[in-house]
Structure formats: structure tokens, C-alpha cells
Amino acid sequence: MAITSPATDLQEKCKSLRLAETAKELPELLRSAESENWTYHEFIHQVLSHELGAREKKNIERFMKWANFPYHRTLAEYDLGEQSAIGERQFKLLKELTWIDNHFTLILMGPPGAGKTHLAVGLGIHAIEDGRQVAFVSMAELVHILKTREYASKSRTRYKRIIDSELVIIDDVMYMSIDPKEANLFFQFIYERYDHTAFILTSNKGPNEWGRFLGDQTLTAAILDRLLHRSEVISFSEHDDSLRMKHRKTLFSDTMAPS
């Protein structure tokens, strides 16, 4: 019969209790306890803090993967000086995330390249770091998921993650027209998530223009009634420079003169 060391035996017990991260780190924690003369209280505190911290990190990594962001850009990278839609005070209020708890809708409206999606992604990442589940989906992808979730397992999985999220970000809302069946599916989705989910919608069209893309003014009114009940419309000015153009990479330098 093999003889195991006390540390190995403790590691196995940790694994049995599903304390996998503690099991991995236990030898190092024991060495630190001996070298630094930790009390029992300090040792237990360090063990539990390590396990909780590791689990939180894994949850954040999992939520980041599930969110399906198009890129990783944080609020720290968002330059308020490059747009006129919000100021420092409003920015701080958005970062507090109380609007998610109150199931608010943020409508980020303005021309392409103004920073709408960057702000939406940054708020989404910030919410995940706060322990919240977030889903990012384009309008076109959402409609596809709603149409195929009954028979496509990939769509069903994605839909489940979307409806389980505290914050749903829908990008490029009303970018193109949708048919009546798709419009009705979108309405049903909004109707079911109303009072359960916070939304961020990005669009280059104002809500007053959505009717011609949905093709049904009554349905549009019903959707807006729910989305705008608790909402903030953040308008990016047409005079704001396109961030894509401002920070674009070029093939030819500005000083390269034509031959």
C-alpha cells in the first residue's frame, strides 16, 4: 500500500470537496504558512481567498467567452475627448452599472465610426468584471438565432446564453429592413426580456425611423413602448470625427508624394 504525504492527502481531500484551485496551490500555501508563521485564522483566510479569487477569474474568463464580443476594448481605452455624446459625469454614472439592476435600455445612436460599439463593448466588459453575465449580438445574428433556435443546437445554445444574461447588447439595430415574420420574432424577444434584462442598442437610425425597417408601425410602437419605458438615448453627433478614420492604419504615408 502506497504511503502518501500529509500534503498529498490534503490535496486529494480538497479535490473531493471540489476545491480544485486550492488543491493545486496547497503546497505553496503550506510553505508560506510555515515560513511566515501564519495563525490558523490567517491560513484559512488565505486558502479560502485563493479559491474564491481563482473561481472569480474563471467565471470572468467563461463570461468573456460567452459574451462573444467582436473585439476587446475597455472603458479605460475610451477617450471621452473624441466624442460629444457624453461627459465625465455621465460616463461615471454608466460605470456604476445601477442602470443594469433597473433594467434600463441605452440607445447609442449616431453615424458609423463614432464610437458607439466601443462604448457598448467597454460597458459590457466592465459589467462582466463586476460579475454579471453579458451577451453581445448583432441585429442580423439575433434574428438568425431567433429563426433557427428550434432546430439548430448552436442557435439554441447561443439563445440560452443571451436570455440568461443580465445585459444584452444588440449592435447595428435596424441596419437593414427585416420581414414581418422576423419583426414579430424580434418583438417577442423584447416582450419576453422586458423587466428581466438591461439592453444596449447601437444604431445609426433614430427610434422614429425604425418603423420603415420593421414594416409595421403598430409592432414598432409596441417594441418602442417597452424599450423606451426606462431608457437613455445617447446621440453621437454627425460632427464627431469617425474614430475608425482617425486611428486607421495606412499603406501610404501622408508625406509620400505621387511620382
pLDDT, tens digit (0-9, with 9 covering 90-100), for 174-184 = 777 778 888 88
Residue 235 within a domain? yes
- Confidence band, pLDDT 50/70/90 cuts, at residue 251: very low
Q: Looking at the predicted structure, is the pLDDT value of residue 237 above 80? A: no
20 and 79 belong to one structural domain: no
Specify the pLDDT at position 46: 86
Secondary structure (3-state) at 191: helix
33 and 91 belong to one structural domain: no
* Per-residue model confidence as pLDDT tens digits over 102-137: 999 999 988 887 888 999 999 999 999 999 999 999
Mean pLDDT of 188-202: 91
118 and 218 belong to one structural domain: yes
Asked if 108 and 234 count as a contact pair (C-beta separation under 8 A), the reply is yes
172 and 62 belong to one structural domain: no
Residue 257 within a domain? no
Residue 30 within a domain? yes
168 and 41 belong to one structural domain: no
* Per-residue model confidence as pLDDT tens digits over 135-170: 999 999 999 999 999 999 999 999 999 999 999 999
Residue 46 within a domain? yes
198 forms bridges with which residues in the sheet? Answer: 167
| Contacting residues for 201 by C-beta, under 8 A, at least 6 apart | 105, 106, 107, 108, 169, 170, 173, 227
* Cα distance between residue 230 and residue 168, in whole Å: 15
Q: Looking at the predicted structure, is the pLDDT value of residue 227 above 70? A: yes
Domain count for the chain, please give it: 2
* Per-residue model confidence as pLDDT tens digits over 68-96: 999 999 999 998 887 778 889 999 999 99
81 and 191 belong to one structural domain: yes
Residue 259 within a domain? no
Residue 154's region, left for phi above 0, alpha for psi from -120 to 50, else beta, is alpha
**Alpha helices (H) in 130-250, listed in sequence order:** 139-148, 153-163, 180-193, 211-214, 217-227, 243-246
Residue 251 within a domain? no
Q: What percent of the chain has pLDDT over 90?
A: 38
Residue 34 within a domain? yes
98 and 145 belong to one structural domain: yes
120 and 206 belong to one structural domain: yes
More confident residue, 54 or 121: 121
41 and 92 belong to one structural domain: no
Mean pLDDT, all residues of the chain? 83
213 and 234 belong to one structural domain: yes
With the CA atoms of 112, 223, 91 and 196 taken in that order, what torsion angle do they form, in degrees rounded to the nearest 10? -130
- Confidence band, pLDDT 50/70/90 cuts, at residue 238: low
Lowest mean pLDDT among 16-30, 69-83, 209-223: 209-223
Domain limits for position 91: 75-242
15 and 105 belong to one structural domain: no
